[in-house]
Amino acid sequence: MKPIPITDYSACNALGRTREEIQARLIAGRSGLEKCTYPLAFETYAGAIPGDFEPLPRNLGEWDSRALRIVYHLLRSMEPTWRAMMTRWQPERVAILMGTSTAGIDNTENAFEHLVQNDALPQNYDLWKHHAYGAVLDLIRQVTGAQGPAWVVSTACTSSAKTFASAARLMESGMIDAAFVGGVDTLCSMTLQGFHSLSALSEQPTRPFSKERQGINIGEGGALMLLEREGDATAYLSGVGESSDAYHIAAPHPEGQGARLAMQRALQSANLQAEDIDFINAHGTGTELNDAMESQAIRELFPTPPPVFSTKGWTGHTLGGAGATEIALCLLALEHQMLPASLGADPVDPALAIDVLSAPRSGTFRRALSNSFAFGGNNISVILQHHEAHHAKV
Protein backbone atom coordinates (compact mmCIF):
# COMPACT_ATOMS: atom_id res chain seq x y z
CA MET A 1 0.00 0.00 0.00
CA LYS A 2 1.03 3.60 -0.53
CA PRO A 3 1.92 5.22 2.84
CA ILE A 4 -0.87 7.47 4.10
CA PRO A 5 -0.01 10.72 5.93
CA ILE A 6 -1.24 11.01 9.52
CA THR A 7 -1.58 14.77 9.81
CA ASP A 8 -2.58 14.94 13.48
CA TYR A 9 -3.68 12.77 16.37
CA SER A 10 -5.09 13.07 19.88
CA ALA A 11 -5.35 10.63 22.77
CA CYS A 12 -7.00 10.44 26.17
CA ASN A 13 -6.55 7.63 28.69
CA ALA A 14 -5.59 6.87 32.29
CA LEU A 15 -2.23 8.61 31.78
CA GLY A 16 -3.81 11.93 30.85
CA ARG A 17 -6.14 13.91 28.63
CA THR A 18 -3.58 15.19 26.12
CA ARG A 19 -0.51 13.92 24.29
CA GLU A 20 1.63 16.16 26.48
CA GLU A 21 0.17 14.82 29.74
CA ILE A 22 0.51 11.22 28.54
CA GLN A 23 4.14 11.71 27.51
CA ALA A 24 4.96 13.39 30.83
CA ARG A 25 3.57 10.42 32.78
CA LEU A 26 5.52 7.99 30.60
CA ILE A 27 8.74 9.89 31.27
CA ALA A 28 7.98 10.07 34.99
CA GLY A 29 7.25 6.32 35.09
CA ARG A 30 3.83 6.84 36.68
CA SER A 31 1.18 4.28 35.74
CA GLY A 32 -2.44 5.32 35.34
CA LEU A 33 -3.70 2.15 37.03
CA GLU A 34 -5.39 2.51 40.42
CA LYS A 35 -7.64 0.37 42.61
CA CYS A 36 -11.02 0.05 40.95
CA THR A 37 -13.74 2.00 42.75
CA TYR A 38 -16.71 0.19 41.17
CA PRO A 39 -18.91 -1.69 43.68
CA LEU A 40 -17.68 -5.20 42.88
CA ALA A 41 -17.51 -8.48 44.79
CA PHE A 42 -13.81 -8.75 43.95
CA GLU A 43 -10.75 -6.51 43.85
CA THR A 44 -8.93 -5.32 40.77
CA TYR A 45 -7.12 -2.33 39.34
CA ALA A 46 -8.44 -0.19 36.48
CA GLY A 47 -7.27 2.63 34.25
CA ALA A 48 -9.78 5.46 34.60
CA ILE A 49 -9.32 8.79 32.83
CA PRO A 50 -8.45 11.36 35.52
CA GLY A 51 -11.08 13.98 36.35
CA ASP A 52 -14.52 14.64 34.90
CA PHE A 53 -15.67 15.80 31.50
CA GLU A 54 -18.09 18.67 31.09
CA PRO A 55 -21.43 17.83 29.45
CA LEU A 56 -21.60 18.28 25.70
CA PRO A 57 -22.62 21.75 24.47
CA ARG A 58 -26.34 22.47 24.36
CA ASN A 59 -26.62 21.90 20.60
CA LEU A 60 -25.12 18.40 21.05
CA GLY A 61 -26.81 17.59 24.35
CA GLU A 62 -29.09 14.90 22.95
CA TRP A 63 -26.01 12.66 22.41
CA ASP A 64 -24.48 13.30 25.83
CA SER A 65 -22.66 10.26 27.24
CA ARG A 66 -19.22 9.60 28.71
CA ALA A 67 -17.97 7.91 25.53
CA LEU A 68 -19.06 10.84 23.37
CA ARG A 69 -17.66 13.37 25.82
CA ILE A 70 -14.29 11.67 25.32
CA VAL A 71 -14.67 11.81 21.52
CA TYR A 72 -15.67 15.48 21.69
CA HIS A 73 -12.59 16.15 23.82
CA LEU A 74 -10.39 14.36 21.25
CA LEU A 75 -11.87 16.50 18.47
CA ARG A 76 -11.33 19.72 20.41
CA SER A 77 -7.71 18.74 21.06
CA MET A 78 -6.86 19.01 17.35
CA GLU A 79 -9.55 21.35 16.09
CA PRO A 80 -7.32 23.66 13.99
CA THR A 81 -5.94 20.69 12.04
CA TRP A 82 -9.25 19.04 11.24
CA ARG A 83 -10.82 22.37 10.30
CA ALA A 84 -7.98 22.88 7.82
CA MET A 85 -8.51 19.31 6.59
CA MET A 86 -12.21 19.97 6.02
CA THR A 87 -11.37 23.00 3.84
CA ARG A 88 -8.94 20.94 1.71
CA TRP A 89 -11.35 18.14 0.85
CA GLN A 90 -14.99 17.86 -0.15
CA PRO A 91 -17.11 16.85 2.90
CA GLU A 92 -18.57 13.81 1.08
CA ARG A 93 -15.01 12.50 0.58
CA VAL A 94 -14.08 12.65 4.28
CA ALA A 95 -14.86 9.38 6.06
CA ILE A 96 -15.62 8.70 9.73
CA LEU A 97 -14.31 5.30 10.86
CA MET A 98 -14.56 4.48 14.56
CA GLY A 99 -14.15 1.39 16.71
CA THR A 100 -15.74 0.49 20.04
CA SER A 101 -16.83 -2.58 21.95
CA THR A 102 -18.83 -1.16 24.87
CA ALA A 103 -20.10 2.09 23.28
CA GLY A 104 -22.57 3.56 25.81
CA ILE A 105 -23.13 0.49 28.00
CA ASP A 106 -22.19 2.52 31.09
CA ASN A 107 -25.17 4.82 30.36
CA THR A 108 -27.49 1.85 30.07
CA GLU A 109 -26.17 0.36 33.32
CA ASN A 110 -26.98 3.63 35.07
CA ALA A 111 -30.38 3.79 33.38
CA PHE A 112 -31.17 0.23 34.47
CA GLU A 113 -30.22 1.03 38.06
CA HIS A 114 -32.60 4.02 37.89
CA LEU A 115 -35.31 1.71 36.53
CA VAL A 116 -34.87 -0.73 39.44
CA GLN A 117 -35.00 2.05 42.02
CA ASN A 118 -37.75 4.19 40.46
CA ASP A 119 -39.74 1.77 38.29
CA ALA A 120 -38.97 3.96 35.26
CA LEU A 121 -36.06 4.79 33.00
CA PRO A 122 -34.53 8.27 33.33
CA GLN A 123 -36.61 10.79 31.41
CA ASN A 124 -33.72 11.81 29.12
CA TYR A 125 -32.40 8.30 28.39
CA ASP A 126 -32.31 7.42 24.68
CA LEU A 127 -31.04 3.96 23.70
CA TRP A 128 -30.01 5.02 20.20
CA LYS A 129 -28.24 8.23 21.20
CA HIS A 130 -26.75 7.17 24.54
CA HIS A 131 -25.91 3.51 23.98
CA ALA A 132 -25.85 2.52 20.30
CA TYR A 133 -22.62 2.40 18.31
CA GLY A 134 -23.82 4.83 15.65
CA ALA A 135 -24.11 7.77 18.05
CA VAL A 136 -20.39 8.50 17.74
CA LEU A 137 -20.82 8.94 13.98
CA ASP A 138 -23.66 11.41 14.48
CA LEU A 139 -21.55 13.43 16.92
CA ILE A 140 -18.53 13.67 14.62
CA ARG A 141 -20.73 14.56 11.64
CA GLN A 142 -22.43 17.33 13.62
CA VAL A 143 -19.15 18.78 14.91
CA THR A 144 -16.98 18.52 11.79
CA GLY A 145 -19.32 18.46 8.80
CA ALA A 146 -17.75 15.29 7.37
CA GLN A 147 -20.26 13.53 5.10
CA GLY A 148 -18.29 10.65 3.61
CA PRO A 149 -18.56 6.89 4.30
CA ALA A 150 -19.10 6.30 7.99
CA TRP A 151 -19.26 3.16 10.10
CA VAL A 152 -18.37 1.72 13.48
CA VAL A 153 -16.26 -1.43 13.77
CA SER A 154 -16.96 -3.68 16.75
CA THR A 155 -14.64 -6.68 16.78
CA ALA A 156 -13.82 -6.66 20.50
CA CYS A 157 -10.20 -5.72 21.19
CA THR A 158 -9.25 -5.11 17.53
CA SER A 159 -12.14 -2.70 16.89
CA SER A 160 -10.28 0.59 16.60
CA ALA A 161 -7.19 -0.97 14.96
CA LYS A 162 -9.34 -2.32 12.14
CA THR A 163 -10.55 1.18 11.33
CA PHE A 164 -7.06 1.81 9.90
CA ALA A 165 -7.54 -1.11 7.52
CA SER A 166 -10.88 0.37 6.47
CA ALA A 167 -9.29 3.77 5.88
CA ALA A 168 -6.49 2.26 3.80
CA ARG A 169 -8.95 0.34 1.60
CA LEU A 170 -11.20 3.36 1.06
CA MET A 171 -8.21 5.56 0.25
CA GLU A 172 -6.74 3.00 -2.15
CA SER A 173 -10.08 2.57 -3.92
CA GLY A 174 -10.28 6.30 -4.56
CA MET A 175 -13.52 6.69 -2.60
CA ILE A 176 -12.15 9.13 -0.03
CA ASP A 177 -9.42 11.74 0.37
CA ALA A 178 -9.37 11.94 4.17
CA ALA A 179 -10.75 10.28 7.29
CA PHE A 180 -11.35 10.62 11.00
CA VAL A 181 -10.04 7.28 12.30
CA GLY A 182 -9.93 5.94 15.86
CA GLY A 183 -11.96 4.50 18.69
CA VAL A 184 -13.16 4.79 22.26
CA ASP A 185 -14.37 2.66 25.15
CA THR A 186 -15.36 3.47 28.73
CA LEU A 187 -15.27 1.52 31.96
CA CYS A 188 -18.45 -0.33 32.85
CA SER A 189 -19.48 -2.98 35.33
CA MET A 190 -20.43 -5.54 32.69
CA THR A 191 -16.90 -5.65 31.24
CA LEU A 192 -15.27 -5.92 34.65
CA GLN A 193 -17.65 -8.71 35.67
CA GLY A 194 -17.22 -10.47 32.34
CA PHE A 195 -13.43 -10.65 32.41
CA HIS A 196 -13.55 -11.69 36.05
CA SER A 197 -15.85 -14.58 35.12
CA LEU A 198 -13.24 -15.68 32.55
CA SER A 199 -10.59 -15.71 35.32
CA ALA A 200 -8.62 -13.25 33.18
CA LEU A 201 -8.71 -10.26 35.55
CA SER A 202 -5.75 -9.50 37.81
CA GLU A 203 -6.30 -8.36 41.40
CA GLN A 204 -3.03 -6.40 41.17
CA PRO A 205 -1.66 -4.03 38.49
CA THR A 206 -1.22 -6.04 35.30
CA ARG A 207 2.30 -7.22 34.43
CA PRO A 208 2.55 -8.09 30.71
CA PHE A 209 5.43 -10.45 29.80
CA SER A 210 6.44 -10.90 33.43
CA LYS A 211 7.21 -14.29 34.87
CA GLU A 212 4.72 -13.31 37.59
CA ARG A 213 1.88 -12.10 35.32
CA GLN A 214 -1.63 -12.86 36.57
CA GLY A 215 -4.01 -11.30 34.06
CA ILE A 216 -5.37 -8.02 32.72
CA ASN A 217 -6.71 -4.77 34.09
CA ILE A 218 -9.48 -2.92 32.24
CA GLY A 219 -8.99 0.69 31.21
CA GLU A 220 -10.90 3.38 29.35
CA GLY A 221 -9.97 5.97 26.77
CA GLY A 222 -9.63 6.59 23.11
CA ALA A 223 -7.60 8.12 20.33
CA LEU A 224 -8.39 9.88 17.08
CA MET A 225 -6.21 10.35 13.99
CA LEU A 226 -6.56 12.42 10.85
CA LEU A 227 -5.56 10.52 7.72
CA GLU A 228 -5.24 12.43 4.44
CA ARG A 229 -4.24 11.54 0.91
CA GLU A 230 -1.74 14.40 1.01
CA GLY A 231 -0.62 16.60 3.85
CA ASP A 232 2.04 17.66 6.34
CA ALA A 233 2.48 14.34 8.13
CA THR A 234 3.52 13.73 11.71
CA ALA A 235 3.96 10.07 10.66
CA TYR A 236 2.66 7.63 8.06
CA LEU A 237 0.37 4.61 8.07
CA SER A 238 2.59 2.28 6.05
CA GLY A 239 1.06 -1.17 6.31
CA VAL A 240 -1.87 -3.17 7.66
CA GLY A 241 -2.20 -6.93 8.06
CA GLU A 242 -5.30 -8.87 9.13
CA SER A 243 -6.14 -12.48 9.88
CA SER A 244 -8.85 -14.55 11.57
CA ASP A 245 -7.77 -17.96 12.83
CA ALA A 246 -11.11 -18.67 14.59
CA TYR A 247 -9.31 -21.03 16.96
CA HIS A 248 -11.49 -20.38 20.03
CA ILE A 249 -14.16 -17.91 21.08
CA ALA A 250 -12.05 -16.52 23.95
CA ALA A 251 -8.57 -18.11 23.87
CA PRO A 252 -5.80 -17.29 21.36
CA HIS A 253 -4.26 -19.91 19.13
CA PRO A 254 -1.55 -21.45 21.37
CA GLU A 255 1.10 -21.20 18.63
CA GLY A 256 0.09 -17.70 17.55
CA GLN A 257 -0.65 -18.68 13.96
CA GLY A 258 -3.13 -15.87 13.35
CA ALA A 259 -0.92 -13.34 15.12
CA ARG A 260 2.08 -14.30 13.01
CA LEU A 261 0.03 -14.13 9.81
CA ALA A 262 -1.27 -10.64 10.65
CA MET A 263 2.27 -9.36 11.26
CA GLN A 264 3.53 -11.03 8.10
CA ARG A 265 0.76 -9.48 6.01
CA ALA A 266 1.46 -6.06 7.50
CA LEU A 267 5.10 -6.35 6.41
CA GLN A 268 4.01 -7.39 2.93
CA SER A 269 1.52 -4.52 2.77
CA ALA A 270 4.29 -2.06 3.66
CA ASN A 271 6.83 -3.74 1.33
CA LEU A 272 9.18 -4.21 4.30
CA GLN A 273 11.30 -6.98 5.76
CA ALA A 274 11.24 -8.07 9.39
CA GLU A 275 14.57 -6.34 10.06
CA ASP A 276 13.03 -2.98 9.00
CA ILE A 277 10.87 -2.86 12.14
CA ASP A 278 12.52 -0.96 15.01
CA PHE A 279 10.07 -1.82 17.79
CA ILE A 280 6.83 -3.67 18.49
CA ASN A 281 3.99 -2.41 20.67
CA ALA A 282 2.60 -5.80 21.59
CA HIS A 283 -0.99 -6.66 22.37
CA GLY A 284 0.57 -7.84 25.65
CA THR A 285 -2.45 -8.35 27.88
CA GLY A 286 -0.60 -9.89 30.82
CA THR A 287 -2.45 -13.20 30.59
CA GLU A 288 -0.50 -16.44 30.51
CA LEU A 289 -1.82 -17.53 27.10
CA ASN A 290 -1.67 -14.25 25.18
CA ASP A 291 1.87 -13.32 26.12
CA ALA A 292 3.17 -16.81 25.40
CA MET A 293 1.56 -17.10 21.96
CA GLU A 294 2.44 -13.52 20.94
CA SER A 295 6.07 -14.06 21.92
CA GLN A 296 6.21 -17.26 19.89
CA ALA A 297 4.74 -15.51 16.85
CA ILE A 298 7.31 -12.71 17.16
CA ARG A 299 10.21 -15.17 17.51
CA GLU A 300 9.13 -17.13 14.45
CA LEU A 301 8.70 -14.07 12.21
CA PHE A 302 11.63 -11.96 13.39
CA PRO A 303 15.04 -13.72 13.25
CA THR A 304 16.34 -11.04 15.63
CA PRO A 305 13.27 -9.73 17.47
CA PRO A 306 13.24 -5.94 17.90
CA PRO A 307 12.49 -4.32 21.28
CA VAL A 308 8.99 -5.23 22.50
CA PHE A 309 6.80 -3.48 25.04
CA SER A 310 3.18 -3.48 26.13
CA THR A 311 1.49 -0.25 27.20
CA LYS A 312 -1.33 -1.98 29.09
CA GLY A 313 0.62 -1.69 32.33
CA TRP A 314 0.26 2.08 31.93
CA THR A 315 -3.34 2.45 30.73
CA GLY A 316 -5.04 -0.90 31.29
CA HIS A 317 -6.68 -2.73 28.41
CA THR A 318 -8.98 -0.20 26.77
CA LEU A 319 -10.76 -2.94 24.78
CA GLY A 320 -12.39 -1.46 21.66
CA GLY A 321 -10.27 1.66 22.09
CA ALA A 322 -7.02 -0.27 22.57
CA GLY A 323 -5.92 -0.43 18.94
CA ALA A 324 -6.15 3.33 18.38
CA THR A 325 -4.79 4.07 21.86
CA GLU A 326 -1.71 1.95 21.29
CA ILE A 327 -1.16 3.33 17.79
CA ALA A 328 -1.19 6.80 19.36
CA LEU A 329 1.41 5.65 21.90
CA CYS A 330 3.54 4.33 19.04
CA LEU A 331 3.28 7.74 17.37
CA LEU A 332 4.46 9.36 20.61
CA ALA A 333 7.43 6.96 20.73
CA LEU A 334 8.36 7.83 17.12
CA GLU A 335 7.89 11.54 17.77
CA HIS A 336 10.08 11.61 20.89
CA GLN A 337 12.43 8.78 19.87
CA MET A 338 11.91 7.10 23.22
CA LEU A 339 10.34 3.71 23.90
CA PRO A 340 8.46 3.28 27.18
CA ALA A 341 9.19 0.40 29.50
CA SER A 342 6.81 -2.53 29.49
CA LEU A 343 5.61 -1.57 32.96
CA GLY A 344 5.48 -4.46 35.43
CA ALA A 345 7.41 -6.85 33.18
CA ASP A 346 10.37 -7.22 35.55
CA PRO A 347 11.23 -10.05 36.07
CA VAL A 348 10.63 -10.86 32.40
CA ASP A 349 9.55 -14.43 31.75
CA PRO A 350 12.71 -16.04 30.27
CA ALA A 351 10.60 -18.63 28.45
CA LEU A 352 9.27 -15.91 26.16
CA ALA A 353 12.75 -15.32 24.68
CA ILE A 354 12.10 -11.86 23.21
CA ASP A 355 13.61 -8.44 23.98
CA VAL A 356 11.00 -7.08 26.42
CA LEU A 357 11.80 -3.58 27.61
CA SER A 358 11.89 -3.47 31.41
CA ALA A 359 13.27 0.11 31.24
CA PRO A 360 12.78 3.01 28.81
CA ARG A 361 15.08 3.07 25.79
CA SER A 362 16.20 5.98 23.62
CA GLY A 363 17.62 5.63 20.12
CA THR A 364 16.78 6.06 16.46
CA PHE A 365 13.40 4.53 15.69
CA ARG A 366 11.93 4.76 12.19
CA ARG A 367 9.23 2.10 11.97
CA ALA A 368 6.87 0.61 14.51
CA LEU A 369 4.53 -2.36 14.46
CA SER A 370 1.47 -2.36 16.72
CA ASN A 371 -0.47 -5.56 17.43
CA SER A 372 -4.12 -5.99 18.38
CA PHE A 373 -5.73 -9.40 18.93
CA ALA A 374 -9.31 -10.19 19.88
CA PHE A 375 -11.74 -12.90 20.90
CA GLY A 376 -12.55 -15.33 18.12
CA GLY A 377 -9.03 -15.19 16.71
CA ASN A 378 -9.44 -11.76 15.13
CA ASN A 379 -5.97 -10.25 14.59
CA ILE A 380 -4.54 -7.05 13.11
CA SER A 381 -1.07 -5.53 12.89
CA VAL A 382 -0.43 -1.92 11.89
CA ILE A 383 2.90 -0.48 10.72
CA LEU A 384 3.73 3.19 11.29
CA GLN A 385 6.65 5.12 9.87
CA HIS A 386 8.42 8.24 11.12
CA HIS A 387 8.01 11.09 8.64
CA GLU A 388 11.79 11.49 8.18
CA ALA A 389 12.20 7.82 7.33
CA HIS A 390 9.43 8.10 4.76
CA HIS A 391 11.03 11.07 3.03
CA ALA A 392 14.44 9.41 3.11
CA LYS A 393 13.01 6.32 1.39
CA VAL A 394 11.17 8.40 -1.19
Q: Give the active site residue among 12, 36, 157, 330.
A: 157
DSSP letter for each residue of 27-84? HHT----EE--S--SS--EEEPPSS-PPPPPGGGGGG--HHHHHHHHHHHHTHHHHHH
Which residues make Cβ contacts (< 8 Å) with residue 228, sequence separation at least 6?
4, 5, 7, 85, 88, 89, 177, 178
Task: Please give the single-letter amino acid code of residue 259.
Answer: A
- The catalytically annotated residue of 73, 317, 386, 387 is 317
Contact 372, 161 (CB under 8 A): yes
CA distances from 338 to 235, 326, 378 (A): 15, 15, 30
**Are the CB atoms for 377 and 245 separated by under 8 Å?**
yes
- 283 catalytic residue (yes or no): yes
Residue 233 CA to residue 167 CA, distance in Å, equals 16
Is 391 designated active site? no
Between β-strands 218-219 and 45-47, what pairing exists: parallel, antiparallel or unpaired? parallel
Cα–Cα separations (whole angstroms), residue 284 to 198, 312, 316: 17, 7, 11
Size of the chain in residues = 394
Q: In what order do the strands lie in the sheet with 378-386?
A: 150-153, 94-99, 178-185, 221-228, 4-12, 235-244, 378-386, 367-374, 279-281, 308-309
State the catalytic residue, choosing from 73, 131, 253, 283. 283
Closest C-alpha to 281, from 294, 271, 269 = 294
157 is catalytic: yes
Which sequence positions are flagged as catalytic?
157, 283, 317
